[in-house]
Amino acid sequence: MRVRPGLMVFVFTGIVAIVGLACGQSTTPTPVPSQPAAPAAAPTAVATQPPLAAANPTAMPTAVTASAPTPARSPPAQPAPSSANEVRSDIKDFVLEDLTVPVGTTVIWENRDGAPHTTTSGNSPSPSGVWDSPLLRQGGAFQFTFDQPGSFPYFCTVHPDMVATVTVTDSASPALAAASPTAISVPVPAATQPPATQTPAALPSTTATPAPTVTPTPQPVANSPTVIPAATPAPAAPTATPVPATATPTTVPTSTPEPMGQTVDSDVVNFTLEDLNIPRGTTVTWHNLDAAPHTSTSGVSPTPSGVWDSGIFNQGGSFSFTFEETGSFPYFCTVHPFMVGTITVTEAEQATATPAPPVATPVPPTPAPSATPAPAAQTVESSIINFTLENLNVSVGTMVTWENFDGAPHTSTAGVSPNASGEWDSGILNMNQDFQFTFDEPGQFPYFCTVHPFMTATVTVQN
């Protein structure tokens, strides 16, 4: 049997189609359920990424909290208490204290004595100029800060035997240097990373400010040349010539040259201030010739009036003041309030013949007559030492001799301090000087030192 080729192709194609249909039905059901499982895996992969993103924000707040403690920069304020180092030193019982302090210490001296004192740098009696307090009365205080190490002797100018030393060490400086680096190093690491983003933001703000440079300045330059030529012709000769012609004959010769050209020297010696009579415009210069310090202070002792005040001037020192107003000006020494004087200022015509009297006024204080009584059956010696006067019991006719062994001046003056009664008055006794007085009447005689009114005692005279 003969088969045609076309039929064979047709048959083969049909067989292949049948077999393909049979295979297609068996494979299609299996892939259908597998497709829903695939999308289930996809969401799990997506869910794993969000927790990673959530971990990153947790790292960011940690960096923010690290920058928050930046207020801990307060430690640099700790060095401030070092400036509050103070040492108080009482001036008491006529004694100055020896002190040892670190550099930067402020020493505060306070006078607890009834007598005035000073705290003055230097070897007594020569000030060195490092510091010098004004006269400190009871309750007065003075302070000085020691910025350099070293040994600084000091003394009291009123009582030159009062001496002491302030020793300044540099032990405080290393402590401060050790504390400063620790306080500075703490805030630096905490603030380095976060502020790095802020610093560039601040830089452009500052760069913008210098932009307004002072450009308008060249405009006034254009105006200045116009003013200059206008000013030069203005001060021409016609304006200057008439003024001196009228002023010279009227005002200049009459008042200014005569008073301003006069000077008067007044010596402060033997604890005495001079009474002066001077014309207006005179300059008075006081010279201290005593070993003790003095002042020339306007006012009725012991209250200054404020017209002038020399302050303390030691032996060889001087002070000048010009009297431009007429009047009577009492004055005194603040260190020794019993030293008083008066400056009388008059017009030049009235004062031409009067300057001579001041020479006669210091002469009257001559306490010698009180010491002259010769009838002395007994003698008693009394030492003035350590700012102390002795209580004495003597018989009628006894001669008492007081001798000053202190470096400061003293007196032996009858009366209840501070009022003298007039029985006797030694005047100023410097070191190793003495004074004698004979007691011819029985009784009790209080006495004191006019320089240091707190020094008091009594002489009891019996038959």
Mean pLDDT over the full length of the chain: 73
Dihedral Cα 428, 430, 435, 441, nearest 10 deg: 50
| CATH code where residue 273 lies | 2.60.40.420
Which pLDDT value is given to residue 74? 44
Is the residue at 56 inside a domain?
no
Average pLDDT, integer, range 372-390: 79
Q: Quick one: 300 and 346 in the same domain?
A: yes
Is the residue at 388 inside a domain?
yes
Q: Quick one: 347 and 376 in the same domain?
A: no
Sheet containing 276-279: order of strands: 276-279, 340-346, 327-332, 297-300, 303-309
Q: Quick one: 383 and 457 in the same domain?
A: yes
Query: 22 pLDDT band (50/70/90 cuts)?
Result: low
Is the residue at 60 inside a domain?
no
Q: Quick one: 376 and 405 in the same domain?
A: yes
H or E stretch at 121: strand 120-123
Angle between helices 194-208 and 31-67 (to 10 degrees): 60
Which among 140, 173, 206 is the end of a domain?
173
Is the residue at 239 inside a domain?
no
Which among 107, 138, 173 is the end of a domain?
173
Is the residue at 295 inside a domain?
yes
DSSP state of 96: P
DSSP 428-444: -B-TT-EEEEEE-S-EE
pLDDT at 218 over 90: no
Nearest to residue 76, comparing CAs of 177, 178, 190, 180?
180
Which pLDDT value is given to residue 325? 93
**Domain range spanning residue 331?**
257-359
Which pLDDT value is given to residue 77? 40
| pTM recorded for the entire structure | 0.36
Which pLDDT value is given to residue 9? 66
φ, ψ dihedrals at 124, nearest 5°: -50, 135
C-alpha to C-alpha distances, 356 to 55, 288, 339, 353, nearest whole angstrom? 107, 21, 21, 7
C-alpha to C-alpha distances, 214 to 218, 316, 421, nearest whole angstrom? 9, 59, 81
Which among 173, 198, 216 is the end of a domain?
173
Q: Quick one: 386 and 315 in the same domain?
A: no
The answer to whether 429 and 419 have CB atoms below 8 angstroms apart is no
pLDDT tens profile 98-131: 999 999 999 999 999 988 899 999 999 889 999 9
Sheet containing 378-384: order of strands: 378-384, 398-404, 434-439
Which pLDDT value is given to residue 334? 87
pLDDT at 419 over 80: yes
Q: How far apart are CA 330 and CA 307, in angstroms?
A: 10
Q: Residue 268's Cα: distance from chain center in Å?
A: 32
Q: Quick one: 374 and 431 in the same domain?
A: yes
Is the residue at 250 inside a domain?
no
Q: How far apart are CA 262 and CA 138, in angstroms?
A: 40
Which pLDDT value is given to residue 13? 75
The answer to whether 158 and 135 have CB atoms below 8 angstroms apart is yes
Q: Quick one: 323 and 395 in the same domain?
A: no
Q: Quick one: 352 and 380 in the same domain?
A: no
Query: 150 pLDDT band (50/70/90 cuts)?
Result: very high
The three state secondary structure string of 236-263 is: CHHHHCHHHHHHHHHCCCCCCHHHHCCE
pLDDT at 406 over 80: yes
**Count of the separate structural domains present in the chain:** 3
pLDDT at 350 over 90: no
Q: Quick one: 353 and 375 in the same domain?
A: no
φ, ψ dihedrals at 325, nearest 5°: -125, 145
Q: Quick one: 282 and 344 in the same domain?
A: yes
pLDDT at 353 over 60: no
pLDDT at 297 over 60: yes
Contact residues for 205 (Cβ-Cβ < 8 A; gap 6+): none
Is the residue at 394 inside a domain?
yes
Is the residue at 454 inside a domain?
yes
Report percent pLDDT > 70 for the chain. Answer: 58
Nearest to residue 451, comparing CAs of 116, 94, 132?
116
Which pLDDT value is given to residue 390? 96
Highest mean pLDDT out of 9-23, 156-170, 188-202, 435-449: 435-449
Q: Quick one: 262 and 313 in the same domain?
A: yes
Nearest to residue 276, comparing CAs of 258, 246, 296?
296
Which pLDDT value is given to residue 106? 97
Q: How far apart are CA 412 and CA 395, in angstroms?
A: 19
Residue 268 token pair: 């402060």
Q: Quick one: 324 and 372 in the same domain?
A: no
The answer to whether 91 and 109 have CB atoms below 8 angstroms apart is yes
Sheet containing 120-123: order of strands: 99-102, 163-169, 150-155, 120-123, 126-132
Q: How far apart are CA 132 and CA 157, in angstroms?
A: 9
Termini Cα distance of the chain: 199
